[in-house]
Amino acid sequence: MMLKIGSMQVWVHDQDEALQFYTRKLGMEVRSDVTVPELGNFRWLTVGPVGQPDISIVLMPIPEPPMMDKETADAVRELMSKGVGATIFLTTDDCRKAYEELSARGVEFVEPPEERPYGIDSGFRDVSGNHIRLTQVYDNFGG
């Protein structure tokens, strides 16, 4: 049996705002955008990197009761505000060039590219506060 990652989820405050960030600023493509009336107009919204059709990121709104109680939803929002709600790890062949291109598109980095033992690494947050790492991994790292 072979298991593969098909998608992963990040909580977002506003799906439309997140969609604009991931597509316009990061250059990802929409994989699915489906509203399901039978589930109270639940919106299944996914994006993914161009050239990687087998993986997607679900842009999931923080649910209201009964799916999630108010205290839990507030705790998720609090974690997101600190940048620890979720982390996405993106890789690139040229971290410094990607940093310049993304900065020009309006991405606000919290950490500029820096040499690390495993490669050149930088960090930014999406519009909902999720932490995103952008790394150029050294060939000999094996990561």
**CATH numbers and ranges of domains, the chain:** 7-137 (3.10.180.10)
The residue ranges of the chain whose pLDDT is under 50 are: none
d(CA 138, CA 116) in angstroms, rounded, equals 10
pLDDT score at 92: 96
How far are the Cα atoms of 69, 79, 99 from residue 74, in angstroms, in the given order? 9, 9, 32
d(CA 33, CA 19) in angstroms, rounded, equals 10
Distance from first CA to last CA of the chain, Å, rounded?
A: 24
pLDDT score at 40: 84
pLDDT score at 80: 86
pLDDT score at 113: 98
Pairing of strands 109-116, 119-125: antiparallel
pLDDT score at 44: 96
pLDDT score at 143: 54
Put residue 72 in one of left, alpha, beta given phi > 0 → left and psi -120 to 50 → alpha.
Answer: alpha
pTM (2 d.p.): 0.90
